[in-house]
Structure formats: structure tokens, C-alpha cells
Amino acid sequence: MVKNKKAIIILIAIMAILPIFIKSKVVLNAIVLLLIFATLGEAWNIITGFAGQTSFGHAAYFGIGAYTSAVLYFHYEISPLIGMVLGAIIAAIIGVVTSYPTFRLKGHYFAIATLAIAEVIKQLFISWRYVEGATGISIPILPRSATFMERIIYLQFNEKVPWVYISLFLFAVVVFICDYLENSKMGYYLKAIRESHEAAESIGINTTNYKLYAMIVSSAISALAGSIYAQYILYIDPFMMFSLEVSMKIVLLTVLGGIGNIFGPIIGAAIFIPLSEFTRMKLGGSGTGIDLMIYGALIVLISVFQPKGIIGIVESIRNRSTKKKGGEGEVEALTRN
């Protein structure tokens, strides 16, 4: 646990120093997106990696977060900082309302339900005039003369660097929450539910409640990431926010990095986001989806050879080196998570 905390701090420190050396807007853009998606991966990890309830519809909460802050700003000029918080609350409520009945479904059926819910929400937003329907919302841009204070309140910056720090801040907070959660009692209850639903109930865990708590945290975090994303891109529409592609990206990058591990999402995002940005730049419109193809191939390889993801590969290498040291190695390998 202490080891984890140290590693997290080192990781965040490195990310914080990066903008000093990197001047390229392309790279900085990739870092911002990487951090936003890593945050989403962490959120997804709570409900799927810890609690074992596979969600294929996390784009729904991401989109709701983005739309809440954008709509409030667009219609009423309410600061996105407030919009973000409201978005997180609304996403959590929708998470609870939709999950309460669907948590009765097990395994694949729950996953299919989440997929369907995200799709339903997308269709609603497409035909909902108040949120500008399929045209999407262009967030009003501040005039060039805007003061620094205004820029903070309305969360708009012309430079990339502030965005690196905003997304890094959110990611850092979320990682610490996840680390705390993993080692808290609730973390163990969620893992018990993942390992055996019936046994968890038989020892007295109120499984429905704990799954709902996990969903609340997970959807609220996803919504925060969504608001940040909307303010960064300054344009959202239902097709990009609620798309299956976003849901899948979240799933795939976490699986690639290592599901159920707090470093999984950041590792997965660090590989996936630069890859998709690169193919997008080099191949343009005709190349859309190439990144997903490469990614699909990676996932196939990972699930065949190391289902625990890249983290699993790292661990097995580390275990092999400790085994060489002698007698205790075997036991060590078995006890290490």
C-alpha cells in the first residue's frame, strides 16, 4: 500500500514536470486526452475491476457530465466549475436509477443492459431540442481580453499547459480515491462480490447497496472527466460523447493496462491515446478506426497471453527475478497479488 502511494506520487510528479520540457502542442494535446481517458479508466475500474460488474456504457456518464456543464454554461452562463459538480451529481443519480434494476442481471446480461442504456441516452440527446439535439453545443468562447480570473471561472484557456495541470489534478485526486478505496473495507466487500456474489451475500454483505455505492463513485468521476473534456474541446454533440467508441476505449485501455489495478488505466491510456492521435494525424479521416484495429490486435494478444494486462507482464517478470534469489521465492510468488 505504502509502495503504491510512493509510485503514484512519483508518477504524478513526472507528469507535472513534462510540460516544462515539451513545447509541442501535439504532444501536450495527447497528454491531456491521455489523462482524461486514464481518469475514465479509473472510474470504470471501480465498478468493473473491483466490483466485477462489467459496464459497456460508461460513455453515458461521461456524456452526461459534459452536457450538464456545457448546457448550464450555454443557456445560463453558469460557471463550468459549478456545472461539473452538478454533472457529477446528476450522473450519479442516473447511475443509481438505471443500475438498481439492472444489477439484478448477472455477467453478460448486465453488460448488455449498460450498452443499451448508453444508446438510449444518446438517442434522447439527439432529439432533445433544449440541448441542441444532433447539432451539438458549441461552448461560447471568451473574448481575448478575458482576465485570468475569468478564464479560471469559465474554465477556458488558449494554452495547452493549463489543461495538462487541470486534467492531471483530476487524475491525481481520482487515483488517490481509488487507492484508498481499494484498501478500504468497501474495497474488500466489492472484491468479495466480484469473486462470488452468493458467498458475499452469505457472509452478510448487502451486495445491492455496495454495488450501488461503487456505481455512484464511478459515474460521478466519469462525469467530472466529461465536463473537463467538454471545456477542453469546446464543442460536444451526442455522437461523440455517447458513442460506443468512447465506452469501448475506456474498457479496452483499462484491460490493456491491467484490469483491477490502479496503474492499469494510465498505462493503457499512455499506449492507446498517443496511438490514436498519431493515426488520426497521419491518416486523417480515411484512417479513422485504424487505431482501434491495432488496438484490437493488442487486446487479442493480451487476453491470450496475459489476461492481467501489461501490469501482469510486469508482475510476472518481477516474480521471476525474486524466485531466482532462492527458497522463499515460490511462496512470495503465490502471495503477491
Partner 1 sequence: MLKVKNLNVGYGNVPVLFDLSLEVKQGELVSVVGSNGAGKSTLIRAISGILKPYSGEIEFMGERIDNVPAYKVVEKGIAHVPEGRQVFGKLSVKDNLLLGAYTIRDEKIINARLNEMYELFPRLKEREHQKAETLSGGEQQMLAIARGLMSNPKLLMVDEVSLGLAPVIVERVLEVLKVISKDVTVLMVEQNVQEALEIADRAYVIQNGRIVMEGPGEELLESDMIKKAYLGL
Residues of this chain that interact with partner 1 (CB under 8 A) are 188-189, 191-192, 194-196, 198-207, 331, 334-335, 337
For the record, the C-alpha cell of 233 comes out as: 474541446
CB of 199 to partner 1, least distance (A): 4
* DSSP H stretches of helix in 127-196: 148-153, 161-183, 185-195
| Cα 191 from chain centre | 19
Query: Whose Cβ is closer to partner 1: residue 123's or residue 183's?
Result: 183
**Nearest 10 degrees: CA dihedral of 116, 130, 134, 61?**
-40
Q: Which is nearer to partner 1, 14 or 331 (CB)?
A: 331
* Closer to partner 1 by Cβ: residue 100 or 239: 100
Nearer to partner 1, 2 or 149 (CB): 2
| Least distance to partner 1, CB of residue 332, Å | 10
d(CA 230, CA 85): 14
Q: Write out the DSSP string of 263-304.
A: THHHHHHHHHHHHHHHHHHHHGGGGTTHHHHHHHHHHHHHHH
Positive or negative: CA dihedral 36, 38, 44, 50: negative
φ/ψ of residue 262, rounded to 5: -70, -20
Contact of 229 with 66, CB cutoff 8 Å: yes
Smallest separation (angstroms) from partner 1 to the CB of 191: 6
- In the bound state with partner 1, the residue whose beta carbon lies nearer, of 145 and 335, is 335
Alpha-carbon distance of 53 to 56, in angstroms, equals 10
Closest contact distance (angstroms) between CB of 309 and partner 1 is: 15
- What's the CA gap between 127 and 132, in Å, rounded? 8
Q: How far is the CB of 299 from partner 1 (least distance, A)?
A: 21
* Type of residue numbered 320: R
The minimum distance between CB 158 and partner 1, in angstroms, equals 47
Least distance in angstroms from the C-beta of 301 to partner 1: 23
CB of 214 to partner 1, least distance (A): 16
Residue 4 or 207: the one with the smaller Cβ distance to partner 1 is 207
**By the 8 A CB rule, do 298 and 282 touch?**
no
Q: Which CB, 147 or 202, lies closer to partner 1? A: 202
158 versus 206: smaller Cβ distance to partner 1: 206
Cβ-contact 118, 57 below 8 angstroms = yes
For 13, the grid coordinates are 510528479
Burial of 3 (0-12, 13-18, 19+ CB in 10 A): exposed
> In 3D, which of 192, 161, 170, 184 has the Cα closest to residue 65?
170
Beta carbon of residue 193, minimum distance to partner 1 (angstroms, whole number): 9
Residue 155 or 200 having the CB closest to partner 1: 200
Cα 73 from Cα 7, distance rounded (Å): 38
